[in-house]
Chains A and B, each alone.
Chain A
């Protein structure tokens, strides 16, 4: 691991009754970072702050060294896969995957080639003519992943991508995501709930609770009961259990 790809520095943000206070986080080039925390901890909010959907009240977000704190989401080139995949229900699978490329005004033949390539890679070519309502949970997540990856983003943010699917499919999708991350050489932040999911994919794990950053630890600790959290490569200093 080398360069710092995502740097969240002392971010404060309030939305409704939720407040995020002084969160700092670094993610490195080619790293698969798992973000954990209980419900309402602010994991999804943190991802939205990185994508630019939310703008922090204080603090900064840097992508590859460039301050993007106030920049619009469409200028950041960050792949984002929300909870439930959120495929556009009025479009087919193919049209969903094409969407981002069309927004970039790519040529039709370039779009077709890119869609076919990513659909083949993820084994979802047969799903291309279908509407999202006719897909299973796992299939929907794969299409959502394809929609994000087809844009070749250097960073991919996955918000609980496997939480709503069965265990067998979950393992398969996790392995897929890990191998895709290596293949595309991208940095990933993956919001995860299940320890097995984390074991399968994570390089490093960070924990957020009640809008506060508790720190990071390397994945797969030798002692499963270990609760001390290292702060390797991270500005978070608190201690928590993962």
Chain B
């Protein structure tokens, strides 16, 4: 990174205008939300047990879903980056579908799947009351399906960018495939691993469409923070929706800062 040189002043001003406008827009919008909450709004939100439950469920499902998404993304990204296999183009395209399709469509696809015989058996074959549809586990499923696609992409790019010759050297030093992956490939892509976790976490915590289609939004049962914002706005309780929205901003910013620290300050999303 270099400091701006003294020459080219007009050019730098032209470059800076869109940047400054966009930063001011985002910062202004977020600051506006915080400013719009009346003093009693915070108290009202904290004393509402349904909202506390939604926050709790959001944090629990997001954490579980992020862990699951990373457990899929790390080996998948490595495989896609390091090996060539038949049908790779198709696999690659399918992986992008949750990213390019509107989230609502993914929710609809999940709901449709659970109306097929296999889906019905998976949903109600083991637990008569249902495992996924209108159940908290369905939230995790919807979050993993969408969040994982982002995580795989970031991990694949990370492995693509890391020098595979480190792995070759490790093998000549006696490390088998598993140890090469654990001791060399993963440490070499540490920053991508952190970035991938942050991106999927941020995607997952804000996921709304597929969750509301597959699980609805039942107070104290399948209500999470994004669906709370939707519910509260739809009945005109803007103050409560604003409190939840600001809470999500604080949580996301905290997560970003923590992961940036963990990533040694070199985390680029």
Contact = CB atoms under 8 A, between A and B. Distances in A.
A and B bind: yes
Interface of A: 48, 51-53, 72-74, 76-80, 82, 86, 88, 90, 99-100, 103-104, 147-148, 151
> A-B pairs with the 6 shortest C-beta distances?
A100-B173, A103-B174, A73-B171, A80-B172, A103-B175, A53-B168
- Main SS at interface, chain B: helix
A80 B174 CA distance: 11
A48 B165 CA distance: 11
Interface stretch (B102-110, B144-152, B183-191, B251-259): B183-191
Given A104-B174, A148-B172, 17 more contacts: A48-B168, A51-B168, A51-B172, A53-B171, A72-B171, A72-B176, A72-B177, A74-B172, A77-B174, A82-B165, A86-B165, A88-B187, A90-B188, A99-B170, A103-B175, A103-B176, A151-B174
A80 B169 contact: yes
B237 interface: no
Nearest to A103: B174
A111 to B, nearest CB: 13
Given A48-B168, A80-B169, A90 B174 contact: no
Nearest to B173: A100
A53 B172 contact: yes
Contacts of B163: 86
Contacts of B175: 74, 99-100, 103
Interface string B189-202: 01000000000000
A78 B171 CA distance: 10
5 contacts: A53-B171, A82-B165, A88-B166, A99-B173, A103-B174
A6 B188 CA distance: 32
Contacts of B179: 103
B171 A74 contact: yes
Contacts of B168: 48, 51, 53, 73, 82
B166 A78 contact: no
Nearest to A73: B171
Contacts of B183: 99, 103
A76 B173 CA distance: 9
A82 B169 contact: yes
A68 to B, nearest CB: 13
Contacts of B190: 90
A148 B184 CA distance: 16
A104 B184 CA distance: 15
B171 A86 contact: no
Contacts of B166: 86, 88
Contacts of B188: 88, 90
A92 to B, nearest CB: 13
Contacts of A53: 168, 171-172
Given A86-B163, A88-B166, A73 B172 contact: yes
A80 B183 CA distance: 18
Nearest to A76: B172
Nearest to A150: B173
B172 A78 contact: yes
